[in-house]
Structure formats: structure tokens, C-alpha cells
Structure 1
Amino acid sequence: MPTPPLWKASIVLNKKDAPDVVAALELIPPLPQAVLTEEDPFRDDGVVEALYDTPPDGDLIAKITGRQVHVQLLPDADWIRLSQQGLPPVRAGRFFVFGSHDAGQVPHGVIPMRIEAGMAFGTGHHETTALCLSVLSDLAKTRRYDNVLDLGTGTGLLAIGAAKLWKKTVLASDIDPIAVEVTRENAVANEEGPRVRALIADGPTHPTLFEKAPFDLILANILAGPLTHLAPQICAVLGKRGTLVLSGLLHWQENLVLSFYRPHGLTVKEIRRDGSWSALVLQKA
């Protein structure tokens, strides 16, 4: 089956500036399918590459990042899957996330999750995903969650993690049909196919999600814009004393996002940060 065309935007820069440029690329529309950093350990410079399913605006990216941008159409290939094949495994809390190329490196005493990205976001390598996994791992130390929703599931990584922790059915929704299919494949590969129920939905008002509410745990690793827009809907399906984990936002966006959730009776339990990114752990009174 032919893959859809992809465009690549490349920026050559100093390695120390790469995290800030990566964070900017993940917020500039159109949103990229993946952002990768290539670095030589013996040189100070590196390359940041973003992959898009629609042509990016190189002039806009250059204006915002203050750097020269090279945009090109890539040959027909599954570049996102290929780009993930060399990534190292990730340890986040009790979880060990790896790809097929790392299948022989799983240590003892961890919860292993084999995730193949394909055309969906979320392999555990991005700071926001790793933050959410570490939060999940710690939440399991103090409480059981029986009704969990992973909103904007991507590869299904967080939904699979929740299913492994609490051995309960987890709803995993995404607006992207490809992400839903990837989630189903990953759930089966991790022996959680029966527990992870993936469906296409554009938000918590979807009939299936609304019918299963209230949830005692909602995971939403999406961007700050959707988090603010969906705040009333998310709060409406979160149960009393329910826990809400929000990520996909930068440090300077924390107060903005919180301002949309505090009026609905949510309080901050914890804020975790990694690099430029944050994860908010909230609880409903």
C-alpha cells in the first residue's frame, strides 16, 4: 500500500539550541508528524528535521526560529517508521519502552512495552510521553483506577501502560484514523488487545466516551491549544476525585492551561518538567 507523501524541513544549528528549536517546530502549523535531532558527539553542530504530511511554510519557520530552513519533498517511503528504527529504548518509571530492534535488551523487573510508531506520535522518546509514563507509574503506587481514558492516544502507549498497570479496559481515542489503527496493532503486540479499546473521536463529547463517563483517570498528552479548547468537555467527563494528567505543553503555557481547568474545581497535585516540556497532574474536588 503506497504511503502518503511527506515533506521534510531541515535546520542546521548549534546542538545547545536544538531543544528550543524542536519545541518551536512542534507548535508551528502545520503540526509535524515527527521531529528528529541528528547530532555528532564530536562536533558542536547538529540538524533538526521535521516531517510533515502537508507542505510546511519554510518562510514562517525561518522567521520564528531565526534560522535558515530547507524544505524538500521526500521520496515515497515510510520515513517516520524508518526514523524510529535507530532510537534507543526509554526507561520511564517502571516502564521500559523499546522497538523491535531492541527486543533483546529488555532488563528484568520492568514493565516492557514494544511500540512501533508507524505514522502515529508517541514512542516514549518525546519528553511529554516519558513524563506521562513516569506519572502513571507513580500513580499506581497509591491508587487503583478502574475507568481510564487516553485522549489523543497516538500510538496507544499510555493506554497500553494503564492497561498493564491496572488490568482494566482502557478507552483510547484519537481524531486520526491512522493513530487508532496503530494503537490497535500495538495493543495486540503487547498482549493488551482485549483491554485497549481504540476508537476515532474528536473529543470527550463522542457518544461512546460520554456513555462510559465518568472516568476516574484521564490522560491527555496533546498540545496546549486543544487542552484549553476541550477543558469544559474534559472536566465534564472526569469523575469526583478523578485524576487528570495533561501534557504536550511548554513551561510558559502551564498557567494558561491551568486557568481553563481551575474554574471547574480542579486543583494541582503536581507539576513535572523535562527540558522545555511540562506535565500537569490535577485532581477534581
Structure 2
Amino acid sequence: MIKHFEPYIEFRPYGAKVSLRTPEGREVFIEIGAGSSFGLEHRTTRLCIRGIEEVFMERRIRTVLDLGCGSGILSISAAAMGAEKIVAIDIDRVAVEEARRNVELNNMSSRIQVICGSIYDIEERFELVVANIATDDLLFMSERIKGSVEPGGVLLVSGISDLNKKKAVSRFNDMGFRLSRSFEEEGWVAIWFDYL
């Protein structure tokens, strides 16, 4: 088993460089261009990247939905870890254009489809669903999010403060998800749920 590797984000004048460790033990780098989309500097983004890395270390994931994709960093991270088909979706047109540029910058266009829309536009199920969005939005959409996770799949959520962790865990437990683990940093959490 590979020892845990802490992913890091190195900020540069033109954007950021993100380091990941693949399941095969290789260190890979992804580039994110400078832009205005939420997330790159936020702790929840780092927590989600760490969660993605750990999910891929334990499971073979082929399909991913990135809900509220922002800059596309989580989709690109999933592709770098080996996912074959990723749908990145956001309601913000500026974020969608930024994500498309970042997908192209990392030569991931063949595996990542970026679309402008909401969870209600998604009709298929995915082995991994990642959502780094505000807790209230996450809980409001929880039933629809559940419908996008394959049975036996993984839901990785963040945008959750320590104060809201219990509420989020309770909601998803009531919906048939089981808490696998959580990642915490400076008052924020990302939570890995298995869908039973």
C-alpha cells in the first residue's frame, strides 16, 4: 500500500500547479489558469483533492460527476487519477468557460465534458460524485444528488463547515449513504460517503 501523499497547490502569477499521487505511485501535476471561479484557494478544494486521491487509491473509478465544477480543478484531478469519463457541470457560464480552458490546458478534453446546467439536467449515474458547494445548496439538492450516484458508488462532498458536519452526515445517512471518512482543515470538512 502506498503511503498517503498530501496533495499540494502551488500558486503562480498565471494560475496554479497542483500535485497529485496516482494509484500507481507516480506524482502528476495539473495546471489551473488564473481566473475568477471559486475554489482554488479555498480549504474545501484542497480537502476534495485529498478525498479524490484517497478514493482512487482504494477503488477503480471510471465515471465521475463534478457538481458545481468552478475552475474544473476537481474534474481534472479525477482524470489525472485515472477516471475515463467525467461530466463537469456548473450553473455559472463564466465558470464553465474557465473550466473548459483548464480542461484544454491539461489535454483532458477527451475525458471531461463541461456543461452549463444543474444537477436536474443529469440523468445518468456515476461511480463518484463530487460536490464542493455550500451546505444549504447541497442539502436542498440531496435527493437529486442521490439519484446521480451508482449503487456501490462514492459521494464526496465539501463546502461544509465544522458546524454543519453533523447536519450533512445525518441527512445523507438517512438517504442510504454510509460515512466512510472525513477530512478536516481549519474549520472545514470534506466527507466521503459510500452509497449502499
TM normalised by structure 1 equals: 0.61
Is the Cα contact below 8 Å between 1:99 and 1:116 reproduced in 2? no
Query: Displacement of 1:174 after TM fit?
Result: 0.3
Q: 1:227 aligns with which of 138, 159, 163?
A: 138
Residue 120 of structure 1 aligns to a residue whose secondary structure is coil
Find out whether 1:266 has 2:177 as its counterpart: yes
Query: Displacement of 1:116 after TM fit?
Result: 2.0
Is the Cα contact below 8 Å between 2:139 and 2:171 reproduced in 1? yes
**Structure with more contact order per residue of length (Cα contacts < 8 Å, sep ≥ 6):** 2
Matches within 5 A, 1:1-285: 93-94=6-7, 96=9, 98-99=11-12, 101=14, 110-123=27-40, 125-203=41-119, 205-206=120-121, 209-210=122-123, 213-285=124-196
Is the Cα contact below 8 Å between 2:15 and 2:32 reproduced in 1? no
Is the Cα contact below 8 Å between 1:100 and 1:114 reproduced in 2? no
Query: Displacement of 1:233 after TM fit?
Result: 0.3
Query: Displacement of 1:98 after TM fit?
Result: 4.5
Deviation >4 Å, runs of 4+: 94-98, 100-104
Structure with the largest fraction of strand: 2
Q: What 5-or-longer segments of structure 1 have no aligned partner?
A: 1-91
- 1:254 partner letter: K
Is the Cα contact below 8 Å between 2:72 and 2:103 reproduced in 1? yes
RMSD of aligned alpha carbons: 2.4
Change (3 A) 1:103 1:228: closer
Q: Distance in 1 between matches of 2:129 and 2:152?
A: 12
Q: Based on CA coordinates, which of the two structures has the bigger radius of gyration? A: 1
Identity value in percent: 27
- 1:199 partner letter: I
Q: Distance in 1 between matches of 2:75 and 2:6?
A: 15
Residue by residue, what CA displacement relative to the aligned partner does 1:172-224 show, whole Å, maximum 9, x if unpaired? 00010110000000010011122110001122x20xx21xx221100000010
Is the Cα contact below 8 Å between 1:98 and 1:113 reproduced in 2? no
Is the Cα contact below 8 Å between 2:71 and 2:102 reproduced in 1? yes
Q: Distance in 2 between matches of 1:171 and 1:159?
A: 8
Is the Cα contact below 8 Å between 1:249 and 1:278 reproduced in 2? yes
